Amino acid sequence: MRRRIAAFGEVMMRLEVPGHQLLSQASNLNYSFSGTGVNITTALAHLGHQTQLVSTLPDNPVGDAAISYLHKLGIQSPTIHRSGHSIGMYFLENGFGVRPSRVTYMNRLASSFNTANKSIYDFHQICKQVDIVHFCGITLAMNESVRQQMKTFAKAAKTNGITVVFDCNYRPSLWGKGGYEKARPHYEEMLRLSDIVLMNEKDAYYTLGMNTEETDRKKQLTTLIPMVAETYHIPIIAGTHRTLHTDQTHTLQGFMYKNQTFTFSKPISFSVLDRIGSGDAYASGIIHGELKEYTSEQTVNFAVSAGALAHTIIGDSPISLEKDIIRVMESGIGDVER
């Protein structure tokens, strides 16, 4: 069954140096438009749902290009406002082996989204048209105005009985020094409004200030996540553990905590083509599994396969179909498909 999903968040312009040159070597850039909200609504549109973004884009040719691009990704645009002249951007220099990928942000706080009039969105109207709303901790880090919009939207969702998904996604560089303390009350407010939360033990430890004496990552997880669920009354918490290997491959294992029970996916190892956006693919897999009423085991394995596959897709936004994800979940690596 096709469901209606909205996401709230900024649209970023990704400016990627093609291949493996640095910005100081190259002379052209590939551009696309992304952001957590964009990625989630793209992924779920490709899984068969009707999705829309709640955002603001500049009223100029760059904004026009962004809208066209979102349409291409399968996202609908009735709740995208157009005002201001500025868009957040990031430059991406692809890493290779011992040289990590490098992201340089530019112009983020001055963007149309982050400077939009506080009452530009009619959240109650939107809540009448959707089944799920997705929020992200990155938006929480922007400024007070956007934070207020986000909380107002989440409360409207709660009031209208709509499922609230919240991805903690704490980015240290956005909060600066003493960031965890600044961030904590906002995170706590969002967690209390949420039905599905994406996080792992590090969020519990750093952002929420919870403690455990365990030193093993998995034990920390199984100790802290139930505490979070109980404290903030969260029905579902899901996340991943990632391991980097020296041969340019990663291993990912997903988990879901629901009904006081942990379910872990099979660990999956894979080569990495485009690292960015894979966390959003995992989150979309969890949401899709819940919408389709998969078992927990099916859901985490589907989500982790969606995450693995997203590492093989150029661009931030996951565009794999359900059948592609299920093929990976069931068969792993395959020869040419003719």
Residues 77-106 that bind a copy of itself (CB under 8 A): 85-87, 91, 93, 95-106
Shortest Å distance, C-beta 337 to a copy of itself: 5
The residue from 131, 262, 298, 313 that contacts a copy of itself (CB under 8 A) is 313
Q: State yes or no: residue 9 binds a copy of itself (CB under 8 A).
A: no
Q: Write the CA distances from 207 to 169, 231, 268, 272, 335, integer angstroms.
A: 10, 14, 28, 29, 44
**Pairing of β 196-198 and β 261-264:** unpaired
Q: Which of the residues 165 through 204 are near a copy of itself (CB under 8 A)?
A: 171, 173
Q: State yes or no: residue 309 binds a copy of itself (CB under 8 A).
A: yes
Among the residue ranges 1-9, 67-75, 177-185, 231-239, the one whose residues contact a copy of itself (CB under 8 A): 67-75
Rounded to an integer, what distance in angstroms lies between the CA atom of residue 116 and that of residue 56?
A: 7
Task: Between 37 and 88, name the residue whose CB sits nearer to a copy of itself.
Answer: 88
Q: Which residues contact 89 (CB under 8 A, 6 or more apart)?
A: 12, 13, 14, 15, 105, 106, 107, 108
**Pairing of β 12-17 and β 88-93:** parallel
Helices 278-291, 36-46: inter-axial angle, 10-degree rounding: 50
Shortest Å distance, C-beta 10 to a copy of itself: 15
Among the residue ranges 161-169, 207-215, 221-229, 315-323, the one whose residues contact a copy of itself (CB under 8 A): 315-323
Cα 251–Cα 284–Cα 185 angle in degrees, nearest 5:
95
Q: State yes or no: residue 206 binds a copy of itself (CB under 8 A).
A: no
Q: State yes or no: residue 18 binds a copy of itself (CB under 8 A).
A: yes
Q: Which amino acid is at 325?
A: I
Give the 3-state secondary structure of residue 5.
strand
Rounded to an integer, what distance in angstroms lies between the CA atom of residue 53 and that of residue 40?
A: 9
Q: State yes or no: residue 136 binds a copy of itself (CB under 8 A).
A: no
Please name every residue paired with 54 in a beta bridge, in sequence order, or none if there are none.
8
Closest CA to 11 of 57, 43, 44: 57
The answer to whether the beta carbons of residues 281 and 238 sit under 8 Å apart is no
Q: State yes or no: residue 148 binds a copy of itself (CB under 8 A).
A: no
The answer to whether the beta carbons of residues 195 and 229 sit under 8 Å apart is no
Tokens of 95: 């890493």
Task: Between 238 and 319, name the residue whose CB sits nearer to a copy of itself.
Answer: 319
Q: Which of the residues 253 through 272 are near a copy of itself (CB under 8 A)?
A: 268-272
Closest CA to 208 of 250, 236, 180, 169: 180
Rounded to an integer, what distance in angstroms lies between the CA atom of residue 238 and that of residue 256?
A: 4
Please name every residue paired with 81 in a beta bridge, in sequence order, or none if there are none.
56
The residue from 31, 180, 262, 294 that contacts a copy of itself (CB under 8 A) is 31
Residues touching a copy of itself, count (CB under 8 A) = 79
Shortest Å distance, C-beta 169 to a copy of itself: 12
Q: State yes or no: residue 275 binds a copy of itself (CB under 8 A).
A: yes
Among the residue ranges 55-63, 154-162, 192-200, 225-233, the one whose residues contact a copy of itself (CB under 8 A): 55-63
Among the residue ranges 115-123, 129-137, 180-188, 329-337, the one whose residues contact a copy of itself (CB under 8 A): 329-337
Shortest Å distance, C-beta 124 to a copy of itself: 24
Shortest Å distance, C-beta 334 to a copy of itself: 4
Q: State yes or no: residue 337 binds a copy of itself (CB under 8 A).
A: yes
Task: Between 65 and 210, name the residue whose CB sits nearer to a copy of itself.
Answer: 65
Q: State yes or no: residue 28 binds a copy of itself (CB under 8 A).
A: yes
Task: Between 145 and 248, name the residue whose CB sits nearer to a copy of itself.
Answer: 248
Give the 3-state secondary structure of residue 268.
strand
Q: State yes or no: residue 119 binds a copy of itself (CB under 8 A).
A: no
Task: Between 280 and 290, name the residue whose CB sits nearer to a copy of itself.
Answer: 280
Tokens of 322: 């359900």
